[in-house]
Structure 1
């Protein structure tokens, strides 16, 4: 693990409330600061989550249409957004840390906004290449690579120069290699760290040269956890390796691999996924969905929560029980096909709470991180971290998968649309064990470690050492 990553420190963080590793974090997309603080106290802390990833805290553009991507177009580094102000942000961090939950802040370092003449959410006037008191024309890339009105835009996403020196969707592209720009970005990170932020998700990392990122981080002058948004795939010109020197990376293909296996009722490929994408477990952040993937076409092989619930549950079981990477869960809001729509806001433009006064989830928020079985799977991963390897792996059929975590737990998965019976070897102590996902479903492990279980269609059976 790289020096700045410190991911493992987050994974094994302990608190007065729970002296055990915390190995799973969650992205609460667009949740306002006050609601995040309450969720840390109500659910995340008591249930062993390591951290919460929150939306960008810097002042963003204001289109008047309340679109989700406004948060990813900064116009100043004031900490005032529709999610709350600086005081609320600092209070959130303090309250989350008090219950053992770190805060990872999403930050946008690659660019500013695409607006020509506008005023930001906190009232800051700006133009495309002019942000008073912060940046001017000379602080941006002007690649001039293409013809016509799009001469500064990325046209060829397989051209590394364009990818990192031209504008992504007309967003004013910062010259992140310039000392002045690096100083301003380092100042922002230092300020957030001074408020108690434990780490950062770096938006659009692949659109920045890895050496630029290293230069920015070096100017911060202290260590912190970093997670790079690095969307990679066949034909991508950006190598993963250099980015793992400064942080973990999102393994987007892992989400597709799980989805393809579960939807195709063939779990054979799952075991090859950890070695398929060139990212070691220590450098990988794994997930089923995030705010980008849930907006992908329904025809893609993904298993988002808002969709096929059985497929999502199977994917979640593998994500949280198989020993690879640092898992990230996701919780957002339903958008009914309008991919641009932002979260519910009040008359003043501030995001409304996802829960009522009793802590119950309010539509259109999903609260997917709270659904039945999630906290049990988080607990499983935390407690099984002492055996971070798969043992006794067996596939009786393509749609069936059995693997253990040494003597600390065992997992059975059935992806078929019909019931399946497993007769498999485990390393569990003899005794009767009940499924952590369905307490009424129990089975006995014999003296020789064998267990026989019949699973309903598209379901899982997960057991854990009673002493762990």
Structure 2
């Protein structure tokens, strides 16, 4: 398996080197991304170094361009002028945030909004296109003979992607990718790269032609010499598949989100996640929830959870997996203590993998429950989540057919678990927090992360 993985990485590197001979490196996939959703750059600067200590490798900031002046979060996704950095801070504020993050070994991902411009009070079907500096009526899709008039509505179920690409997203005037638009948007990318931004998220990428997105990503790669890590917001639907864009860069995994939503909500079965339905790409950006799925802030929320705590447990699962690139919403990071633990667990698994350890993910059927999921990460780590309200408690846990063996420490509660062979050749949990009990005990609505420790640690705790 490791030889296959090496061959795959080598092949990708050769393809990139052939197509972009000036690239100095290939950006490393993030360990975990903290989404500083709608936060001011100066506020983020104050705690960014704490994120590094907690295990995050990247932070994603709010869109930087001058936008709709409303204080609502969605206004940041309604651009007015790509030539000006304004909204959650000035250009100098952003420069200082990036510098502080880099001092702490945190990389910064910028959110760019290139599909459309702002709705500035022209109504649902009309916008004054003269309000956007540098752009003209020829840079927008409009009704024939009526510049600024909305040309059509998007149909996500008509069997083609024409309306997704050429119609307005709600009330937002849709951009054509004229030479002028590309020049302005590439200048925005260059401004951010000159400020030493480390990566980009492309908002509403599925509403942009794939060849244009590819052109922008290629431009970023050339200008950064391959040092940036980029991903695309692609919300899959009847007409758009992840495969339409994942050949360009990593995409958001709304397929896994829907799978987790079904499993973690009341009545769902966690056994469905033994082989989860997800985007077939280990780079894909995974999340328990994001700003597009929260009903309280989004009237058009995508498949929202009724109980936010279900999404916290889904986030815990995302952090335990080997595959994917976890994106953690700032609110959830603050609200659920086991999420911070999950970030540290993921960092440790990453470090041990780099050191040659076995961290391969495997969901264990030895616990056959609709409300409890047990995952081994090779012999280096263990994760268990209990979504039920009540405690899960079993006196005996047979782990014979697993890689788990030795002493493990739970990162948040700091207790140890021992897994040993018995005379019959089978492996059992012989210690769970105390030598007086084996099996497994997990409180309701909780997630636990264990890392392998020297055997002496279990002896000390005795």
1:279 to partner: Cα distance: 2.8
- Structure 1 gap segments, 5+ residues each: 12-21, 119-126, 332-365
For residues 360-409 of structure 1, give each alpha carbon's deviation from its aligned partner in whole angstroms, at most 9, with x where no partner exists.
xxxxxx47347423332112112223145223621422323222111111
Partner residue of 1:141? 141
- Distance in 2 (CA, whole Å) between partners of 1:303 and 1:403 is 24
Matched, 1:382 2:387: no
Matched, 1:458 2:445: yes
**Contact residue 10 and residue 50 of structure 1 kept, 8 A:** no
2:376 paired residue among 404, 413, 429: 404
Partner residue of 2:92? 87
1:35-434 alignment, distance < 5 Å: 35-41=43-49, 43-63=50-70, 66-115=71-120, 128-131=128-131, 133-142=133-142, 151-159=150-158, 160-176=161-177, 178-220=178-220, 221-222=222-223, 223=226, 224-233=228-237, 235=238, 237-263=239-265, 264-273=267-276, 276-282=277-283, 284-295=284-295, 302-303=304-305, 307-309=307-309, 311-331=310-330, 366=331, 368-369=333-334, 371-385=336-350, 386=353, 387-391=358-362, 393-394=364-365, 395-422=367-394, 423-425=397-399, 426-431=402-407, 433-434=408-409
Larger-Rg structure:
2
**Contact residue 200 and residue 225 of structure 1 kept, 8 A:** yes
- Distance in 2 (CA, whole Å) between partners of 1:7 and 1:367 is 33
For residues 71-114 of structure 1, give each alpha carbon's deviation from its aligned partner in whole angstroms, at most 9, with x where no partner exists.
11111124433311000011111110111111101111111112
1:437 to partner: Cα distance: 3.5
- Distance in 2 (CA, whole Å) between partners of 1:252 and 1:6 is 32
- Distance in 2 (CA, whole Å) between partners of 1:312 and 1:154 is 32
Q: Secondary structure at the match of 2:116?
A: coil
**TM-score (normalised: structure 1):** 0.77
Q: Secondary structure at the match of 2:246?
A: helix
Q: 1:95 to 1:370 in 2, by over 3 A?
A: farther
For residues 13-49 of structure 1, give each alpha carbon's deviation from its aligned partner in whole angstroms, at most 9, with x where no partner exists.
xxxxxxxxx61111111111111112212x1122221
Q: Secondary structure at the match of 2:189?
A: helix
Partner residue of 1:30? 38
**Contact residue 37 and residue 62 of structure 2 kept, 8 A:** yes
**TM-score (normalised: structure 2):** 0.78
**Contact residue 265 and residue 415 of structure 1 kept, 8 A:** no
1:251 to partner: Cα distance: 0.8
Higher RCO (C-alpha under 8 Å, 6+ residues apart): 1
User: Which has a greater percent of helix?
Assistant: 2
- Distance in 2 (CA, whole Å) between partners of 1:6 and 1:323 is 27
Q: 1:288 to 1:450 in 2, by over 3 A?
A: same
Out of 164-173 and 213-222, give the one that drifted further.
Answer: 213-222
- Distance in 2 (CA, whole Å) between partners of 1:31 and 1:53 is 10
- Distance in 1 (CA, whole Å) between partners of 2:288 and 2:167 is 30
Q: 1:391 to 1:328 in 2, by over 3 A?
A: same
- Distance in 1 (CA, whole Å) between partners of 2:302 and 2:190 is 39
**Contact residue 143 and residue 166 of structure 1 kept, 8 A:** no
Q: Secondary structure at the match of 2:382?
A: strand
Partner residue of 1:438? 413
1:414 to partner: Cα distance: 2.5
Q: Secondary structure at the match of 1:439?
A: coil
- Distance in 1 (CA, whole Å) between partners of 2:378 and 2:72 is 47
Equivalences, count:
400
1:301 to partner: Cα distance: 6.1
**Contact residue 288 and residue 319 of structure 1 kept, 8 A:** yes
- Structure 2 gap segments, 5+ residues each: 1-8, 430-438, 456-462
- Distance in 2 (CA, whole Å) between partners of 1:239 and 1:7 is 29
Out of 78-87 and 321-330, give the one that drifted further.
Answer: 78-87
State the Cα RMSD in Å.
Answer: 3.2
**Contact residue 322 and residue 390 of structure 1 kept, 8 A:** yes
Out of 198-207 and 251-260, give the one that drifted further.
Answer: 251-260
**Contact residue 198 and residue 225 of structure 1 kept, 8 A:** yes
- Distance in 2 (CA, whole Å) between partners of 1:87 and 1:7 is 28
For residues 191-224 of structure 1, give each alpha carbon's deviation from its aligned partner in whole angstroms, at most 9, with x where no partner exists.
1011011111111101111012122333443333
Q: Secondary structure at the match of 1:110?
A: coil
